[in-house]
Amino acid sequence: KAGVTQTPRYLIKTRGQQVTLSCSPISGHRSVSWYQQTPGQGLQFLFEYFSETQRNKGNFPGRFSGRQFSNSRSEMNVSTLELGDSALYLCASSGDPGTGGGQYFGPGTRLTVT
Amino acid sequence: QQQVKQSPQSLIVQKGGISIINCAYENTAFDYFPWYQQFPGKGPALLIAIRPDVSEKKEGRFTISFNKSAKQFSLHIMDSQPGDSATYFCAASIRTGGSYIPTFGRGTSLIVHP
């Protein structure tokens, strides 16, 4: 099976702009989670979608949002970008999130805000 | 508030040696404990995981030791190899909204010298 894919891999944006990142999960996986990884805060959970519904949400401001499509592909959006939003954004999919079977991460999108 | 404390932050081991990474948690509601390995430019990859009803789990050269009463768990890498050089993250997961959501430690950068 193909792994989790994320596009784009690298992105440079200016403060105040908005950005949309895309994630395609492993075929058959219905759960998609998003994480922010920074040197200062480490890996932090943003939100999780399952069958097009947001099931869990981390402690991030409302500027961070997401959605999931019927084919399980997911997008996350960050509006009104701030310098502190510069990070590696990781998407992870899971085939059976209720059993704790682990998540499969994509390579991430490196976002730089200038 | 750091819910999962990981140490050491960095570790240097000679080839063939044992690498030990420790994690501690506070929330007794955590009930799934995965370890992830991350190489530069890649997303984290699930290495091994344990549930609190088991005190030890071994997969190849990787072993998790779990002490429920002390709320601590550790990763042991036996016969460490240069190819093991990576960043390792422990996580503690709690089931919420039908899925296991992990809280990650800050990571340990492991360097194995040949």
Chain B residues touching A108 at Cβ < 8 A: 43
pLDDT at B10: 97
Q: Which among B45, B49, B106 is the nearest to A105, CB-wise?
A: B45
A102 touches chain B (CB under 8 A): yes
Q: Which among A97, A100, A105 is the nearest to B43, CB-wise?
A: A105
Mean pLDDT of B98-105: 90
Q: Which among A44, A55, A92 is the nearest to B97, CB-wise?
A: A55
% of chain B residues with pLDDT over 70 = 98
Cβ density class A38-58: b for 16+ within 10 Å, e for less: eeeebbbbbbbbbeeeebbeb
CA distance B88 to B4: 13
A97 three-class SS? helix
**pLDDT tens digits along B73-90:** 999 999 999 999 999 999
pLDDT < 50: residue spans in chain A: none
A50 touches chain B (CB under 8 A): yes
pLDDT at B108: 97
Answer yes or no: is pLDDT of B100 > 70.
yes
Name which of A46-50, A98-102, B28-32, B57-61 the model is least confident about: A98-102
Answer yes or no: is pLDDT of B43 > 90.
yes
CB contact under 8 A, B98 and A97: yes
pLDDT at B91: 95
Mean pLDDT of B82-107: 93
Taking the alpha carbons at both ends of chain B, their separation in whole angstroms is: 38
Of B109, B102, B107, residue with least CA distance to A34 = B102
Residue B97: φ, ψ to 5°: 60, 20
pLDDT at A82: 97
DSSP strand E in B53-98: where? 56-59, 62-67, 72-77, 86-96
User: Is the Cβ–Cβ distance between B17 and B80 less than 8 Å?
Assistant: yes
B82 three-class SS? helix
CB contact under 8 A, A55 and B102: no
Cβ density class B37-59: b for 16+ within 10 Å, e for less: bbeeeebbbbbbbbebeeeebee
User: Is the Cβ–Cβ distance between B63 and B49 less than 8 Å?
Assistant: no
CB contact under 8 A, A56 and B95: no
CB contact under 8 A, A50 and B99: yes
Q: Which residues are within 8 A (CB) of B34 and not within 5 positions of it... i.e. 6 or more apart?
A: A100, A102, B46, B47, B48, B49, B90, B91, B93, B102
Which residue has 């998790």 as its token pair? B64
Structure tokens at A73: 């592909």
pLDDT at A99: 67
Mean pLDDT of B58-71: 96
Residue of A nearest to B51 (CA): A100
User: Is the Cβ–Cβ distance between A26 and A95 less than 8 Å?
Assistant: yes
Answer yes or no: is pLDDT of B1 > 60.
no
Chain A residues touching B46 at Cβ < 8 A: 102-104
CA distance A105 to A37: 12
Structure tokens at B66: 């779990």
- The overall average pLDDT reported for chain B is 94
- pLDDT category, B25, cuts 50, 70, 90? very high
Structure tokens at A77: 């959006």
pLDDT at B110: 98
